[in-house]
Amino acid sequence: MPLQENFSEMYGTSGEVRAPYAGLSEWLSEMSVEELAKRHGAAELAFRRMGITFAVYGSNQGDEKIIPFDVLPRIVSASEFSDLEAGIVQRINALQMFLADIYGPREILKAGIIPPELVLANPQFQPAMTQIKPPGGIYSHISGIDMVRTKDDFYVLEDNLRTPSGVAYMLENREAMLRLFPALFQEHRIRPVDIYIDYLQDMIRAVAPKSARGEPTAVVLTPGSLNSAYYEHSFLADRLGIELVEGSDLFADNGCMYMRTTEGPQRVDVIYRRIDDDYLDPLAFRPDSILGIAGLMDAYECGNVTIVNAPGTGVADDKAIYSYVPEIVEFYTGEAAALKNVETYRCREPDALKYTLDNLSELVVKRVDASGGYGMLIGPAATRAEIDEFAERIKDDPDGYIAQPTLSLSTCPTVVNSQIAERHVDLRAFVVSGAEKTCVVPGGLTRVALKEGSLVVNSSQGGGTKDSWVLAD
């Protein structure tokens, strides 16, 4: 897959304003750049005052930062979103079946579709889950699918099935836009994104254990205020009307989970966890964990509590497994995958390793177990020394890397230094899976690379975000 020429979300490849952006284009023609920049500054000030921040691990500054917010939205037509939605639902449902299979009969491994060692020796594979069937058969209740667009089509870059983040920014971006540009909303029919909270509440009810009495009691389990996504943890607990807890606030007793309250122990039915598998239960995983709850996995196995997302889901979003998702979709659904993968070279395979090493200057190389833009080489933007150093890393651990062609992500008009400029964007779609249905939020989080020419959109690497509009029919 060769490097693609830029596709502008607003202008396509022809230079003519695309239909979904017609209203925005007209509005921009009447809005001065100075006024736009003024409102842009007001939005960022409001985000800082509200504490919408994140921490960058390893930062020398040690302080929290706001994710830069751009006031020009990314717009998706109703028909475009309908196609994406169908492909996302197909993909997530197939990955749910994949997880149920690898923790059960392992038919896909017996069929030779995926090398067994990629699953069974994967650090994210949790043998404890072979004894547990999650309520409703749902493993990844909350998923995030990262997609990019080229002049040809949308492509899936990554599947996030563990504890995907960013939904708070999606919701806050929309609220900021409604406050700053009410007239612009009146001129468009835009589907709401706050339906995400309704999806979450419905899902919690649907996957609560049978032992739950009446309305299930749910909590958000956070590792604490030092976590980079702590703002989102507290935001979601507040929006859901449930308690934000740390491991020390919960305890297990007789195969059930309880929360310590001023009125005594309260039974907990659903735990929306925002801590990694290894730290969930020191009796089942890392014995030195002080973040989790001793006995949680026993209560989970007894069917008295639901963990959202289930432990062990990470094996399905490993970047090596990603390269097999089209085959996974076809194996479980009998259908061709509606959403395309980016062509991927598995460095564990000799021919792919040779090709990768011979073409590092033209490829994007990623660690299979990394996220957030870390552990990655973008060949066309790297120095010779960086390429040579990365080549040694790959040679030392070929199983730990994949490589992909450098795609030219689509661009979107963005306010940069009080001017409007085209910047590269991606799209994270958020998916909520309950016992009976899979729902895709009509919007998502558009991330934007604020540096000219940059393809790295991650907030940890200096990227910003935009509101994502899905137009109604």
The pLDDT tens digits of the residues spanning 130-153 come to 999 999 899 999 999 999 999 889
Residues with Cβ < 8 Å from 60, sequence gap 6 or more? none
Q: Which residue in the block uniquely carries the two structure tokens 């960086």?
A: 386
Q: Are 365 and 394 in contact (CB under 8 A)?
A: yes
pLDDT band at 229 (very low <50, low <70, confident <90, very high): confident
Give the Cα separation of 281 and 428 in Å (integer).
Answer: 30
pLDDT for the residue numbered 39: 85
Residue 398: pLDDT band with limits 50, 70, 90: very high
The better pLDDT of the pair 383, 6 is held by 383
Q: Are strands 154-160 and 53-54 parallel, antiparallel or unpaired?
A: unpaired
Tell me the pLDDT of the chain averaged across its residues: 91
Q: Residue 59: pLDDT above 70?
A: no
| pLDDT given at position 42 | 85
Helix axes 167-180 and 230-240, enclosed angle (nearest 10): 70
Say what the pLDDT of residue 51 is.
66
The CATH code of domain 343-406 reads 3.30.1490.270
Q: Please enumerate in sequence order all residues whose Cβ is within 8 A of that of 298, keeping only pairs 6 or more positions apart, or say none.
A: 252, 255, 283, 284
456 confidence band (pLDDT: 50, 70, 90): confident
Q: Where would I find the H helices in 366-450?
A: 384-396
User: Which is higher by pLDDT, 312 or 67?
Assistant: 312
pLDDT at 373: 62
The region of weakest confidence among 50-64, 94-108, 136-150 is 50-64
Task: Please enumerate in sequence order all residues whose Cβ is within 8 A of that of 36, keeping only pairs 6 or more positions apart, or say none.
Answer: 28, 71, 415, 420
As a whole number, mean pLDDT of residues 378-400 equals 93
Query: Is the peptide bond prior to 309 cis by the omega test (within 30 degrees of 0)?
Result: yes
Q: Is 218 helix (H, G, I), strand (E, B) or coil?
A: strand
Give the model's pLDDT for residue 61. Answer: 46
Eight-class DSSP state of 373: T
DSSP for residue 93: H
Kindly state the average pLDDT of the residues 396-405.
94
Q: What is the pLDDT confidence band of residue 67, given thresholds at 50, 70 and 90? A: confident
Count Cβ atoms within 10 A of the Cβ of residue 60 and give its class: 0-12 exposed, 13-18 middle, 19 or more buried: exposed
- The stretch 9-26 carries a mean pLDDT of 93
User: Encoding tokens for residue 135?
Assistant: 């309520």
- pLDDT attached to residue 168: 92
Among 105-114, 361-370, 456-465, the range scoring the smallest mean pLDDT is 456-465
**pLDDT at res. 41:** 84
pLDDT of residue 65: 66
Higher pLDDT, 297 or 418: 297
* pLDDT value of position 31: 87
> At 63, is the pLDDT very low, low, confident or very high (cuts 50, 70, 90)?
low
The closest of 307, 291, 171, 184 to 240, measured between CA atoms, is 171
Kindly report, residue by residue over 244-294, the tens digit of the pLDDT.
999 999 999 999 999 999 999 999 999 999 999 999 999 999 999 999 999
Q: Judge whether residue 4 has pLDDT over 50.
A: no
* pLDDT mean over 6-17: 90
pLDDT of residue 48: 76
Averaged pLDDT for residues 4-18: 86
Check whether 55 has a pLDDT greater than 60: no
Residue 417 has pLDDT above 50, yes or no: yes
Determine what percent of the chain is predicted with pLDDT higher than 90: 73
pLDDT 10s digits, 175-224: 989 988 898 998 899 999 999 999 999 999 999 999 898 899 999 999 99
- Which pLDDT value is given to residue 62? 47
pLDDT band at 53 (very low <50, low <70, confident <90, very high): low
Q: Are 404 and 363 in contact (CB under 8 A)?
A: yes
Give the mean model confidence (pLDDT) for residues 428-443.
95
Which CATH architecture does the domain made up of 210-304 adopt? 3-Layer(aba) Sandwich (3.40)
Instruction: Name the residue ranges covered by the structural domains of the chain.
Output: 1-189+315-340+413-473, 210-304, 343-406
What per-residue confidence (pLDDT) applies to 466? 94
Q: What is the pLDDT of residue 58?
A: 52
